[in-house]
Amino acid sequence: MFEDKVLERDGFALDEAESRQSAPASRRETLRHESPVVRQPPSPAQQDRGQAPATVKQRRNSLLRRPVVLAVGAMLLASALGGGYVYLDYANHFQSTDDAFIAARQTALAPKVSGYITAVPVTDNEHVAAGDAIARIDDRDYRTALQQAEAQVAAAKASIENVDAQLNVQQAQISANQAQVDQAQAALVFAQQQAARYEHLEQTGYGSVQNAQQYTSQLHQQQAALASAQATLKLAQRQLEALKAQRDSAVANLAQTQAQRDQAQLNLSYTTLTAAQPGRIVNLGAAVGQFAQPGTNLTMFVPDQIWVTANFKENQLDRMRPGQPVTLEIDAYPGRTIRGHVDSVQPGSGTAFSLLPAQNATGNYVKIVQRVPVKIIMDNPPTDVALGPGMSVVPTVRIDPRPSVYEKLGRYL
């Protein structure tokens, strides 16, 4: 028995016959003549396995035959890797964010006194200097009140002058009373001497009893006169003290009237609403003829002192310190580059100081990267354009002062 196998490789048919050794050769020849060779077409898998090594070899041969292309490809790959390293090294020297806005301490301007507005010398978005008038209120009532206060001050001063005159008169009266006391004391001394003399004469028999009694009576009269003069002096002194107290009251009344006058002057000055610092008028609501109440918002005021509040992610603050240089790009003016520096970093996230701070003590807590406000001061703010709160800014902070590879290459190239 014979088994025939047909093997095909690379388009060629190979015939292999295996037979047992006991079969005669003539039988094998007869079967070879009777059985024709069958050629089968190759399958796609066999074609791919046969063609794949040939394709790889052809590509290798083509690259080897083109060394310039190989060199250019290697140079491009090296350039891409080097450029990527230079870019990453340069980017690691900076931190940037687009969550930044211009900020200022804008305030609402309101009058302190009531009245009808007579003039509004400014308009919307106008720049004013410190002390410039923004609105004026009718001041006739306040001028009248000031005149009344000044008249009361004059009356208080006149009252003090009147008391001073009375004090001078009373001082003269005290001097006169003191003189009367001195006179009474001198008369008393003489009366004492006369009474003693005539009493001694009456006792020795050289004088009459009548004379002794007469001079004794005169002594008592002088004693009473001295006591009366001393009482009059004391009364005058008490009146002097009363006049001094009256003067102190007049001085206090003068201070009160002066305070009322100063208040009237302040109220008169409040009729003119002025700018406390340089800035711009925003959202002007005052109009001539409008009745303004104390505390009524007439306009918003934005001072010239502005800064940038940049909300950096907390993982961007590792190497950020006050004083580091900053480059600012304002969305409203894309062609301008403004220089600045980091002023301070807020000690806490923005949500910690919000009206409703986040409460993280919950069961379904999800960690979120917080943002921390960083205050940036402009070193050269532009004066020919309007900058105000809320305008978008893109700050770039240089956190590494050492030069990068890109900057080193720029120095040599």
Confidence (pLDDT) at 37:
44
Confidence (pLDDT) at 7:
37
Write a three-state SS string for 131-173.
Answer: CCEEEEECCHHHHHHHHHHHHHHHHHHHHHHHHHHHHHHHHHH
Integer angstrom CA distances of residue 388 from 96, 237, 269, 378: 21, 74, 30, 13
**Where are the domain boundaries for CATH 1.10.287.620 in the chain?**
140-269
Dihedral of the alpha carbons of 347, 351, 356, 362, in degrees to the nearest 10: -110
Residue 342's nearest CA partner among 374, 379, 311 is: 374
107-138+271-299 folds as: OB fold (Dihydrolipoamide Acetyltransferase, E2P) (2.40.50)
**Where are the domain boundaries for CATH 2.40.30.170 in the chain?**
94-105+305-354+365-412
**Where are the domain boundaries for CATH 2.40.50.100 in the chain?**
107-138+271-299
Integer angstrom CA distances of residue 36 from 12, 33, 49, 147: 15, 7, 29, 143
Please state the pTM of the whole predicted model.
0.63
Confidence (pLDDT) at 73:
79
Integer angstrom CA distances of residue 256 from 31, 143, 150, 362: 148, 19, 11, 63
Contacts of 401 (CB under 8 A, 6+ apart): none
- Confirm if 268 and 256 have CB atoms less than 8 A apart: no
Confidence (pLDDT) at 60:
58
The domain 140-269 is placed in CATH, from the list 1.10.1040.10, 3.40.50.300, 3.40.50.720, 1.10.287.620, at 1.10.287.620
- Confirm if 288 and 270 have CB atoms less than 8 A apart: no
Residue 34's nearest CA partner among 24, 26, 22, 44 is: 26
Which helix (H) or strand (E) segment holds residue 329: the answer is: strand 325-330
The fourth-level CATH superfamily of domain 94-105+305-354+365-412 is Efflux pump adaptor protein, beta barrel domain (2.40.30.170)
Confidence (pLDDT) at 254:
94
The pLDDT tens digits along the chain (413 residues) read 333 433 333 433 334 434 344 444 444 444 344 444 444 555 544 544 545 555 655 665 655 567 777 777 788 888 888 788 888 888 888 999 999 999 999 999 999 999 999 999 999 999 999 999 999 999 999 999 999 999 999 999 999 999 888 888 888 888 888 888 888 788 778 777 777 776 766 677 666 667 777 767 777 787 788 888 888 888 888 888 888 888 899 999 999 999 999 999 999 999 999 999 999 999 999 999 999 999 999 999 999 999 999 999 999 999 999 999 999 999 999 888 899 999 999 998 888 888 888 777 767 778 889 999 999 999 988 888 888 999 999 999 999 988 887 777 777 76
Confidence (pLDDT) at 23:
41
